[in-house]
Structure 1
């Protein structure tokens, strides 16, 4: 197959590994910067152009869309889908996962457990919102934040109200979330591909930081999941329609709680901490999707 990895740079670890894994399985691989793509929308003739030329002979794509360019990146993925090109992650699933509020509403409807979460727009209601999620300490998150940015732990009611006032003053959307003390600054990243758990690591924040993100200086180690943790991660990915997902789970006294589901999870931490070749598993999943597409075409012909 001719496979394009939609990524800003070949130098990114995840992009490089996907290119290597695809080449090792005999595919023609190329990195395509989705921000340099532009589209032609015409009846029955969707096209994508890249660096001054029509982009063709692509059989499948692997989206690696950064959160800051979700709208444009998903538009490009959607154009590939309109052209009948297989994507290992559907554009609509990326959109769902990037909207933290919407994704949590979907997960809640599917029966996935999570920390108690509040969402409000009116500043005068902040005291009730804090009470609604169980009182302080609380975690306050920007809806658009990534990699631990825009996440604040407020230890007291006064501190929480001050942070909320500041965020409301910026007219930005935020979530107020229950703080899971027993997780002790750690979470579990579960990597799900094609409805199966293919790897998991426990991430621990640096001393004094309740955030466990590796980008913030956290550490990671391989972990063996419980049956309930595996089932929770699989259900979370399925609920959002993600064939490839990184599901972030907090280990609590009442069981696994899903904190977030990522549609473009990084490979570096999970591969290095577990020794598992996740990139090849993604390529194999893409091969399966391509085979299914071919089989469906054959059925239509018959």
Structure 2
């Protein structure tokens, strides 16, 4: 029996299940496994809470089409949540508490007893207050319960033909703003435009544009920094200033998750 069989069999006898599905590979594999075992009794739910990029929402739609699973959307605005927008170290906790409220409500509407997410065993080693929040709602993590690491997830996703098998990990746009600097619609918009511009001009898939009080700090994998020659950087700077950034620089240390998770003045 393969690891993927274990994951599919996790859903044995679960009746109706709702999968919290973003545009990433983790929740995509969970949705695939749920659909394999439960068919139409598995439902994917994607939250459009206004801090997820349009690219992620599009990918979420595409992956549900690939799997064949029914998809529902939650539509609400996190920017109306003061606990979220003040952007302290518990921002992700407040985000996930609000998501949990909406998921529980939707589950009741559709007579669903079990909600699952895409948390994997590698996530447990990071600072992830959002995981704790979802636990409080009884949301379960099949990938953790069946011992799936990120590498195992990618291998399994590739083996079943999911297009997101090699998709770089992503997080909500608010994660590009240092703790202590308020999350606003204006900042989120210029971050999203900024990352799209950098991806288009460099053909890179894995890009972060950090918004440091209006200055753009671009992070890419360290071995890709050399792509930013004088010409490319000039084009990027010009376009990023047009969308509202005051200055642009490349982080010479390269991408590292959670790098700006410090309280900023």
Does the pair score TM above 0.5?
no
Structure with greater strand percent: 1
Q: TM-score, normalised by structure 2?
A: 0.27
Q: TM-score, normalised by structure 1?
A: 0.25
